[in-house]
Structure 1
């Protein structure tokens, strides 16, 4: 079941990424919704506060699905976070659910505006996938082969420094090779440096989710994906890296067309 689920999910994600547009926005919204559901399951808050948060997330996702500009989207998200924070303060619910809303929604908005509807966006997302997946796979195999000191034994006992470094090195090579083959705007070196940042960020995202699960006393974020656990278990590093890539590309080329700062088609 685990292998079948992985193959089916991988093919669906690649197909929807290729299609872009509305299908990609819907997939991103579904991922954000699942992540927020899992966050609330692990860190349950007062019912009314969680219901308000869910309604705010639905509103942000609707604006995203309708294809609004990045500036408007992030302003809507900021307003939603402010409203939820004020309600949490007045009701005594705290800021845990506010953090969950931002954690779920911000990377989804980043993914959508990285992809956009052109070839540059497609290759930006494929670059992201290549770097994050290479980091995950090679960190596992390098760590298993070399062993050594634990990276964060109190959070994720299986991870080692050798795996973290190995995954990062191979991710930089993968990112550089991708840039060499495609039309990288600023050359191979900058794309390789971006791959380095993304590899580190994706592993931090993985550790953050592991810490969240450990604090909540659960092995998986949910059982939404047969044989794999939850959505957060599969995309924790990807979502963190997606937000980082969007911010870096937006600094280079603007918030509305960030992918054009990376690949030119």
Structure 2
């Protein structure tokens, strides 16, 4: 527990000021975090990031992460993000032929889906910061509140297992406690910030975001269980890997835009 707390404090001290500052430091940090998360996911399937499929996966991720305000640079060259992404997918499929199916269609599909899974989450992380730091902090704090509420309520009152085949320790009581904690944070944000969102709508959106954040956690748990991995990585002592820390974000930030909270 002590190591977990120290890591959290150090990581927050480095991470939160960059989120607040924004600009190029935030963009670089996002690319780095997303690349590490992708590497961790690829490693589960024993695909090295230094391999051709690994490098093509990173290229696809980096294309997906290009912010809307910077796509003009690609368009000046006569292309768009979709065309570049399609080219990378085609190269992955061609590689299945060149390797005589040692790298097969399933492997290529994993590389593409993993890049999409990580890429869209972090792309909307970037786009949310463009809308304003308050929205990033809102998403982060309701995610953290959901995690903390689910953990403490689950430990204190949890009796009914939520999804034991995927995550044996999660409970229905913890699931509800996580939503309640997120709603409490949403009320605080409504009273103390200029989000300018009607409270009833904000609470509905928060409940949906909390639910999907917990589902995002379960998705990564299912991925790790399938590949017999305890943690996605070891870069954050006491916490695991980057993917372990952002699994909820990958669902919350895109949904923040779908629900038009911003």
Classify the TM-score, shorter chain. Answer: 0.7 to 0.9
Q: Distance in 1 between matches of 2:259 and 2:241?
A: 28
Q: Distance in 2 between matches of 1:25 and 1:36?
A: 16
Shift in alpha-carbon separation, 1:29–1:76, aligned structure 2, 3 A: farther
Aligned-partner SS, 1:229: coil
| 1:104 pairs with one of 118, 130, 133 | 118
Please, which runs of 5 or more residues in structure 2 have no aligned partner?
97-103
Q: Which residue of 2 aligns with 1:252?
A: none
The CA deviation at 1:83 is: 3.0
Cα distance in 2 between the residues matched to 1:244 and 1:10: 24
Work out the CA distance in 2 between the residues paired with 1:93 and 1:175. Answer: 44
Q: Partner residue of 1:16?
A: 18
Task: Give the deviation of 1:84 after TM superposition.
Answer: 3.8
What is aligned with 1:156? 167
Q: Which runs of 4+ in 1 moved over 6 A?
A: none
Structure 2 equivalent of residue 221 of structure 1:
232
Give the alignment's Cα RMSD to 1 decimal. Answer: 2.4
Partner of 1:157: helix, strand, or coil? Answer: strand
Alpha-carbon contact 1:81-1:98 (below 8 Å) kept: no
Higher deviation after alignment, 214-223 or 181-190: 181-190
Give the CA deviation at 1:45: 4.5
Does the 8 A contact of 1:110 with 1:243 survive in 2? yes
Q: 1:121 to 1:69 in 2, by over 3 A?
A: farther
Counterpart position of 2:178: 167
What secondary structure does 1:151 align onto?
Answer: strand
Q: Does 1:56 align with 2:39?
A: no
Describe the superposition over 1:215-260 as per-residue Cα deviations: whole angstroms up to 9, x where unpaired: 11110001111222100111111221111113323xxxxxxxxxxx
- How far apart, in 2, do the equivalents of 1:239 and 1:10 lie? 18
TM-score by length of 1: 0.84
Q: Secondary structure at the match of 1:158?
A: strand
Q: Return the match for 1:93 from 105, 115, 118.
A: 105
The alignment's TM-score, normalised by the length of structure 2, stands at 0.85
1:83 and 2:94 correspond = no
1:169-188 map, 5 Å = 169-188=180-199
Q: Work out the CA distance in 2 between the residues paired with 1:81 and 1:69.
A: 13
- TM superposition shift of 1:56: 3.1
Structure 1 contact 202–237 (Cα < 8 Å) conserved: yes
